[in-house]
Amino acid sequence: MTKKTIAISVGDINGIGCELLLRNHKIVSSLCNPIYCINDDLLKQASQILNIDIPIDFKTFQTHKNFKIKPGKVSKKSGRFSYLSFLDAIKLTKENKADGVCTMPINKKAWQKAGIKYVGHTDMLRDIFKTDAIMMLGCEQMYVALFTEHIPLKKVAKEITKNKLFNFLDKFFRSEKPSKVAVLGLNPHAGDDGVLGNEEKEIAKAIKKINDVLGSEIFVGPFVPDTIFTPQMREKFKYFIAMYHDQGLAPLKALYFEEGINVSLGLPIKRTSVDHGTAFDKAYKPDSNISNLSYINAIKKLIE
């Protein structure tokens, strides 16, 4: 079977991205044909600082912008480079020179310093492809998709309408084709039948509508948020829809912090990412002991 080609953006080069790529090339190249979006000058710098040889078959796409790597520092130049690296990875995939994109972590402050208008990867993808992307995080044991993401908590309730949630559930189903999905309520006790809030009524309407369209009870809920992630419920469900960021990600990261990945659903290209930050405190340090589980899982998800 022919191995897939994956374009890999290196993220913020002052962080741990380059170390992950160099240390894990042998594993990753056994799974796919990686193309690393980094130029020879920056790659050589990273290799020398880390004291890791560049593998002979380390194929690069020459993302151009040269500067001095400053380990663990927030930098306008490294922010700009991580943006360009991601842009090149997207380009390779759009032009069918790669089958998908895997992203190393960026630093949002560095992007801001560089004058980049996007908050992060997902914002950028939505703008480039002019479509909503669903952010799903997790690992093989459990995935959580976020109905709302990086918005203030006080704005979440207004977003929960039957039509908005129906469209979200429809896109989620078409992307993942799950057999069962647990949908969380918003309020404590899932609203206690309206005593603690009415948002669950909109959630229930959306669930009924999508199941009617699909002709099957794929989506179930709304569930009480504080009991849905028990071991018994996780035996029944692999996929969960959370109404807001921390509702879904706090339990996920408590259970599977190192294994988790980020997946963008509903786009014309496939994209996954590690689900951790740049770890500036560990970057380019000989005793960093950086886990590769998230990176390897992100690659495996792309080539499924």
pLDDT tens, position by position, 234-256: 999 999 999 999 999 999 999 99
Q: What is the pLDDT of residue 74?
A: 97
Is residue 221 scored above 90 in pLDDT? Answer: yes
Catalogue all structural domains in the chain, each as residue range(s) with its CATH number.
1-130+268-304 (3.40.718.10), 141-258 (3.40.718.10)
* Inter-helix orientation angle 199-214/162-176, to 10°: 40
pLDDT band at 302 (very low <50, low <70, confident <90, very high): very high
What is the CA angle 111-116-121, rounded to 5? 70
pLDDT band at 1 (very low <50, low <70, confident <90, very high): low
The average pLDDT across 125-144 equals 95
- In angstroms, rounded to a whole number, what is the distance separating the alpha carbons of residues 234 and 172? 19
Beta carbons of 59 and 33 less than 8 angstroms apart: yes
- In angstroms, rounded to a whole number, what is the distance separating the alpha carbons of residues 74 and 27? 30
- Mean pLDDT computed over every residue of the chain: 95
Q: Which helix (H) or strand (E) holds 291?
A: none
Q: Please name the residues in contact with 190: beta carbons below 8 A apart, sequence gap of 6 or more.
A: 184, 200, 221, 222, 223, 224, 225
pLDDT digits (tens, 9 = 90+) for 158-210: 999 999 999 999 999 999 999 999 999 999 998 888 888 899 999 999 999 99
- In angstroms, rounded to a whole number, what is the distance separating the alpha carbons of residues 31 and 126? 28
The average pLDDT across 217-224 equals 97
- What 8-state DSSP symbol labels residue 260? -
The average pLDDT across 58-81 equals 95
Q: What is the pLDDT of residue 248?
A: 95
Q: How many helices (H) and strands (E) does the chain have?
A: 12, 11
